[in-house]
Every structure is written in C-alpha cells, then in structure tokens.
Amino acid sequence: MKRQYFGTDGVRGPYGSPLMNEAFAWRLGAAAARWLKTARGVPAGKVVIGRDTRASGASLSQAVADGLAHEGCSVYTLDVLPTPAVARAVRTKGAALGVVITASHNPASDNGIKFFGAAGTKLTDDEEAQIERLMPAVRLDDTVVSLEKLDGVGDYLDAAKTLLPSSLAGWKIVLDTAHGATVHTSGAALRFYGAEVFGIGAEPDGRNINAGVGSEHPEKMCEAVRLHGARLGIAHDGDGDRCILCDERGEVLDGDEILTILALHALRTGRLAAKTLVVTVQSNLGVDAAVTAAGGRVCRTQVGDRYVIERMFAEGAGFGGESSGHVICADVSPTGDGLVAALKVIEVMLATGQPLSELRRALVKFPQLSAALKVKEKKPLESLPSLPGVIRTIETELGARGRVLVRYSGTEPKLRLLVEGPTDAVVQAAMARLESATRADLELL
C-alpha cells in the first residue's frame, strides 16, 4: 500500500511547509486515533508524546495531542526525551501508542512525527498507509487540551544503569549530545558508572540542534578526545537513536564497526541469537566477511531501522542495525538506542581489556565511497535516460568484487550513491561516472 506522507522514518519536512505545520499535525493525530479505534479496537487509547529540543517541537506536540484527544484518546506528555526512551515509555506506561516529534539528524529548521505501537516498535508501512487514509481533510476544532506530564527519564535511566558489570571510575569519556534530546540522559548514565564526562553539544536553545555537532559532525568530539586523553568519544544525533564513536586516538568508528565489534563478541560468548546479525544494504561487505569467518551469518534489508527490526523478528535474531549508527539490541530496547549501543561497546572493552583502536580492527572494510546529491525532484530512477545504464555497466564490471547502491533518501530531497569495489581507484572512477550521469539526468540543488 503506497504512502503519501510517511517516509523511511515517519513524516518529516521543513517546519511551516504544507507537510509539517500545526494543522497537518492535528490531522495526523486525529487519523492515528481513528486508526487505533478501527484497526486496534482501542476507542479511548492512552498515548504518550515526546519530542526533541527543536523550537517547533512544543507547538507540534500540542497539535498532535489535540487531534488525538478530539478522537477520544487520553494524551500525556513526556516533554523532551530521546526517541528510544519514548519507545520504552509506551510499554512501561501501558500506552496504546507513542508519538515522537523529531527530525532526528536533520537541521533545526525541519521537524517530523513518528509513531510507536503498543510493543514500543515502529509502525509498519501498511499501518502508516492506513493512518494516512483516515486523515480528515481539515482541522475540525480548535480545542487545546491540557496535558499531564509523565516521567520517562527515570525508567529509561534505571534500565541503562543495569547494563554494565562494573564501574567506569578513572574513565574519561567525551559525550556529544548534539544539543538534542539526550542532553539530560546519556551523561547521567555515564556519570552513574563513575566516568568523568566532557560534554559537547549540551546547550540546546531550540535552534542549534545538530548544528556542527552530533553524529553527523563528529569532528569536535574527536578533537576533544585527543585534548582530554579520553578513553573514547560518543556522539548522538538530535533524538538519540544513533551512536557514532571515536577511539582513544580520536578516530571515528561508524555503525558498521560498532555492529561488528558487538556481533563478534556476542558470537564468542554464545549470546548472538540465531548466530545472526541483521544489517541494511548500506553496510560494508566487510561486515559479512568478519561475521561469517567467526561462524555467524549476516542478513540484509532495505535502508531503515524498522526494516532491520522486522527482519530480526523474522529470523529470530536479537541484534542488528545500520551503518548510520542505529543499533538495535532487542533484549534491551525495541528500537535503535544510541546510549545502549555505547554502553554495550564499553561492556566489550571492559570484558576484553582492549581499547577501541584494537577492537575496531576486526572489521576490514572493502573500499567504499558514498555521496548524497540534493535533487529538485525525485524522478523515478528507472525513467532516467543515463543513470540506469551506467549502474548496470558498473555492476557488470565489478561482478562479485563489489556492488553499487543508488536510492533516494526516505527523509530528505537527496539521491544517495554508494560504490564498493576491489581498490580505491576502481571505486573512485565508478563514483565519478555515477555522479556525472546523475548531473546529466537530474536538476541538483
């Protein structure tokens, strides 16, 4: 069932645009309540709403709540809270639905809306399409409901405080919270274990979320790790469901390296369910090689952490994620959780006595290049005159020695290009040909 508004991770767009404003948020909230009644048989469901630190978050949260309440739901606010903490709160508070107002790693000028079902997992494509079909054409009333606040921080931190077997006394850790939703959670968890925490991106003002900091911009984190002689650096995105690390040398580890470290340790200790790691098509082929050599297997899905989670359930796997830094540990969290991912890596460091610079050597990456080109219009790829032919030619040339991945972003007006191959020269040449064909076929911004 085709969706009109929802993308890879909820509805997202520039605040004030036709897709992201208070009237649209009200209509989407009302539709979600109607869906609860018709598809779930919940006529007056309890709904919890959290948000990140964007200036537009409060009014959009209220608008969604008003739409939900109009259709009979009892709505509670969690205020500013990381996405994975909202997912946990859906379960611990006995809610029928969770809503997060966030645009994740996007700039402060954007915002978005995503939903979690009663199990704390993201809705399926079909469920989102059902909600779209139930949207009223206009906002039906102007009633503003009063929202009771629930504490989602306490439950979330209580769970985090059970993950490590020993103290981090003597550890120096740099933490970049992207001026976002993790500003009051990740640091508190690390300090609970006794770590000395050096904060970056910890002064949200509603306009600076992800601005030159966070998982999309790890440079300041790396510099601070070197400056303070820290054991590692941790960077989240604006809503806290991602984690990017850097080692004691100040060198970045991406999601693939984190996934490989955790999967191999779980295999060694007999804790990798079904001996399976689930990743997306975006992950480097070196992940497959490392996990397979250790006696495990790798399954791949389309891009999007909810597709990873769906495949995990289907395979009986408990662990998966994306190269972007979404890491899902199903025994702890029903969705990607940046804090859980960081603590799990620290657990491996404690168990092995090895620094990240050594642990990361388990993944030998295939040469890879990626690019994200802003496009004016997302024309169907198969309709383009040049790009499909260039892709087929490169794939034929690479054979089993590499791969090409070309797709539109599900959350931004971008065409994403990825090439892996046997050498840097081959990969660079292939990327140049893909970019040239893209520029010939599409108007770039």
Backbone angles phi, psi at 424, to 5 degrees: -60, -40
Q: Residue for token digits 């405080």? A: 161
How many angstroms separate the CA atoms of 60 and 332, rounded?
29
**Catalytic choice (104, 215, 323, 333):** 104
Strands 327-329 and 232-235 turn out to be: unpaired
Write out the two tokens for 244. Answer: 């990017």
Task: Single out the residue of 198, 87, 96 nearest to residue 152, CA to CA.
Answer: 87
User: What is the chain's Cα-based Rg?
Assistant: 22
Distance, in Å, from the CA atom of 421 to the CA atom of 329, rounded to the nearest integer, reads 30
The answer to whether the CB of 240 falls within 8 A of the CB of 211 is: no
Q: What is the secondary structure of 256-292 as a DSSP string?
A: HHHHHHHHHHHHHTT-SGGGEEEEETTS-HHHHHHHH
User: Which residues does residue 164 pair with via DSSP β-bridges, in sequence order?
Assistant: none
Rounded to whole angstroms, what are the CA distances from 278 to 34, 88, 122, 123, 348? 34, 22, 17, 19, 19
Annotated active-site residue 56? The verdict is no
Active site residues: 104
